[in-house]
Amino acid sequence: MEGSVRHDGPGIGGDGGVAVQERPGGDPTRARAETPVLGVAGAPVRTLPVTADPGPLGLAAFAATTFMLSMFNSGLMGASGEPIVFGMALFVGGIAQLLAGQWEFRTGNTFGAVAFTSYGAFWLSFWAFEQFYADSVTNATVLNHALGLYLITWGIFTTYMWVASLRVSVAVMIVFALLATTFLVLGVGHAATDTGLVKLGGYIGIATAIAAWYASFAAVTNDTFGRTLLPVKELKPEK
C-alpha cells in the first residue's frame, strides 16, 4: 500500500517539511522525497514534484553489461567477439549507471548513489583500460596478475556493500552476494592464471546479471502498476 509520512524541520518562512512517499514495492533501496522550496516569511511553502526512481535504470544497465562480459568469461561465446562488450561498458554500464548514481544522490539514497556511481566508474575504467592501456602490458603473466588485483579490489568493495545491503532487500542482497563472489573468483582465477576459475566466475556473473535484472524488473513493474507484483522482500533498517 502507498502512503506518505511528513518529516518537519526548520525552514525559512515555513516549517521546512519534506514529504516522503514510500514506494509500493518499487526500488527497495529508498523512499522518494519531495524537496521543499521555501518562500519569504508568511508565504506558503511549496514542494517540487516527486523524483522518478533511478534504481531500475542502474540495475538494468549493470545487468546487461555484466551478462555480456560474463558470456565471454564463461567461454559460452568465443573470445574474438569480446570487443562488442566495450561499447556496452562505455555507454550502458558506464555512463547510464553513473547518471543513475548521480540521480540517487538527488533522492537522498546513499546506498544507491554509492553503488551505481562506483560500478559506473568500474565499467568506464574497464573500457579505458582495454582501449588505451592493455596493449602496453606485453607480459601475459603480469597482465593476469594486474587483472587479478583489479578484480579482487572490486571484490573487497562489493563485499562491504553486501553487508550494507542486508538492510535493503533480499533481492538486492542476493545481487551483491553473487557479485562479490564473481569479482573474487575472477580475480583469483586471473592472478593464478586458472582458466577454470575464470570460466566459473563467468557463470557466477551470468547468475549475478539475472538477479540484477529481476531486481530492476520488480522495481519498475511494481512502481508502474502502483502495487507489488514481483516481491523483493524489503529488509527494514533497525530503529
Task: Quickly list DSSP for the chain.
Answer: ---EEEE----SSS---EEEE--SSS-TT--EEPPEE--STTSPPEEPPPPP--HHHHHHHHHHHHHHHHHHHTTSS-GGGTTHHHHHIIIIIIIIHHHHHHHHHHHT-HHHHHHHHHHHHHHHHHHHIIIIIGGG---HHHHHHHHHHHHHHHHHHHHHHHHHHTTTBHHHHHHHHHHHHHHHHHHHHHHTT-HHHHHHHHHHHHHHHHHHHHHHHHHHHHHHHTS-SS---B-PPP-
- Residue 200, pLDDT above cutoff 60: yes
Look at residue 51 in the predicted model and tell me its pLDDT.
81
Question: Taking residues 79-105, what's their average pLDDT?
Answer: 97
Tell me the average pLDDT across 127-146.
95
Q: Is the pLDDT of residue 136 over 80?
A: yes
Average pLDDT over the chain, rounded to whole?
Answer: 85
In this predicted structure, the answer to whether residue 16 has a pLDDT above a threshold of 50 is no
* pTM of the model as a whole: 0.80
Q: What is the pLDDT of residues 30-76, one digit of tens each?
A: 544 444 444 445 455 555 556 899 999 999 999 999 999 999 999 99
Average pLDDT for 156-164: 98
Per-residue pLDDT, averaged over 70-89, amounts to: 97
Q: How confident is the model at residue 6 (pLDDT cuts 50, 70, 90)?
A: very low
CA nearest to 130, candidates 90, 187, 80: 90
Question: Is 21 in contact with 31 (CB distance < 8 Å)?
Answer: yes
Q: Which pLDDT belongs to residue 211? A: 98
CB atoms within 10 A of CB 181: 20
Match 540495475 to its residue by C-alpha cell. Answer: 59
pLDDT at res. 34: 46
Q: Mean pLDDT, to the nearest integer, of 1-19?
A: 35
